[in-house]
Amino acid sequence: MKKLLLILLLILIPISVSAAPGWQRNLTVEWGYEPPSDMSHTGFKLYQDGAPVCTWATAIVRIGSCDVTLVKKSTSFTLTATFADGQESLHSDPYVLNDWGPKPRIISVTPK
Domains by residue range for the chain, with CATH: 20-98 (2.60.40.10)
Q: Which residues of the chain register pLDDT less than 50?
A: 1-19
pLDDT of residue 107: 81
Question: What b/e sequence results for 74-95 when a residue is b if at least 16 CB atoms lie within 10 Å of its CB, and e otherwise?
Answer: ebebbbbbbbeeeeebeebeee
Quote the pLDDT of residue 23.
94
pLDDT for position 105: 76
pLDDT for 108 equals: 82
What's the CA gap between 29 and 46, in Å, rounded? 9
* Predicted TM-score (pTM) of this structure: 0.74
